[in-house]
Chains A and B, each alone.
Chain A
Amino acid sequence: MTDRMIPVTEDELHAYADGELPAERRDDVERWLAAHPDDAARLQAWRGIGEDLHARYDGVADEPIPARLSIDRLARPPRRWIAGAIAATLAAFLIGGGAGWIAHGASATPTAFAEFTGDALGAHRLYVVEVRHPVEVEGSERAHLQQWLSKRVGYDVKAPELDGTGLKLVGGRLLPGPQAPAAFLMYESASGERFTLFTSRAATGATQMRYASRNADGALFWADNGVGYVVSGPTDKDRLNQVARLVYDQTEKSGS
């Protein structure tokens, strides 16, 4: 009897259990099982595993499909909502200050613009109210201040002369910026009005100026020569523009 059979291998038993065995071999396996109760019992145990799995998990397939797996919801083009999310973020940022952009078509990504103006306005708001310690290094030590900041931010920092608009250098400090350390300079008018200049390395090409505002503060952002600039001050756009213009004229330009 059994000795006349070609022995059934382990693989063949599994294949038989899964309906993967070629038809011509099935009879052999069935005769083998009749003669080998141990293998027959194992096969039975495997079938039991299959029954357990179905008993346990088939119900999942009958559950109502949760809304978050709805194909219509998921099939909406992802680009649209990413763009929407960015627009919404910017809108919140801008509407929050009650102002919009000028200078459309600037080439900086909204993110660089948002990061720089966000950081700059934050620093501006934090330090302009400081009476005793608005800066780390006083404006009277201009040469030292410029040397120190240049070394830390990795490009030449020159505190612009803004006497033409009635502003005097108070001093400066080092701050964390969006991608690299930032140089932060503060200016003050005779009436106590304060402006700040926030500069840091930017992975952005040259851009036009853009305006943003938050609460009572306004900011003008631009980038040039691998450096981002934000001039922050009161929301008076003309005044801000006048100051920014003076700063811009005294900074190193790409190609110069």
Chain B
Amino acid sequence: MSAFRDEVEVMIPALRRYARALTREIDLADDLVQDTLVRALRSEKLFLGGDLRSWLYTILTNLNRNRRRAIARRPLFTPLTDNTADASGTEAEGRDIARALATLPDEQRAVLLLVMLEGLSYREVADVQSVPIGTVMSRLARARGHVKASLDGQRPALRAVK
């Protein structure tokens, strides 16, 4: 097995985590990861060094955006509250953060997750989204503001205990 393939393979768990948080649906998330992997493997020869990790996050982020665009052209039947999507987060804590994520615009959600969950630098996120660092920072600030407001609104009592 090639070194390239090895490097892609070790990224699969993190890509799944990112995709799950991005879509909050198991099957959809794994579809995205699968498409990302297929595309990456197919483009192995086009990948001229650089940061493989950022590149994979870029592919996945773009695929998700294309998917959202395609969905936007159709009427949406997704239920607003999903209580079946994920069984792994059992405590109320988890459901709240998922609900808060759902309220974010796509670009903001991606920035928030790439920085806070996946640990990418501002520079790397700017490359993933093809925007200046300043845009990444303003998206991140707005995302944090939204999520904080959402969490505060949802469970003031729990917050106070901390």
Contacts and interface: CB of A to CB of B under 8 A. Distances in A.
Nearest to A68: B34
A58 B144 contact: no
B93 A18 contact: no
B5 A62 contact: no
Contacts of A126: none
B24 to A, nearest CB: 10
B53 interface: no
Interface residues of A, number: 33
A36 B96 CA distance: 28
A69 B34 contact: yes
B116 interface: yes
B115 A18 contact: yes
A69 B140 CA distance: 31
Interface in B20-53: 20-21, 30, 33-34, 37-38, 41-42
B148 A46 contact: yes
B97 A42 contact: no
B97 A74 contact: no
B56 to A, nearest CB: 12
B12 A65 contact: yes
Contacts of A54: 117
A115 interface: no
B116 A49 contact: yes
A121 to B, nearest CB: 36
Nearest to A53: B117
A15 B20 CA distance: 26
Contacts of B21: 53, 56-57, 60
A45 interface: yes
A107 to B, nearest CB: 29
Given A52-B97, A53-B21, A57-B20, A14 B137 contact: yes
Nearest to A45: B148
B55 interface: no
Interface string A48-91: 11101111111111110110110110110010000000000000
B46 to A, nearest CB: 15
Interface string A137-151: 000000000000000
Interface of A: 10-11, 14-15, 18, 20, 42, 45-46, 48-50, 52-63, 65-66, 68-69, 71-72, 74-75, 78
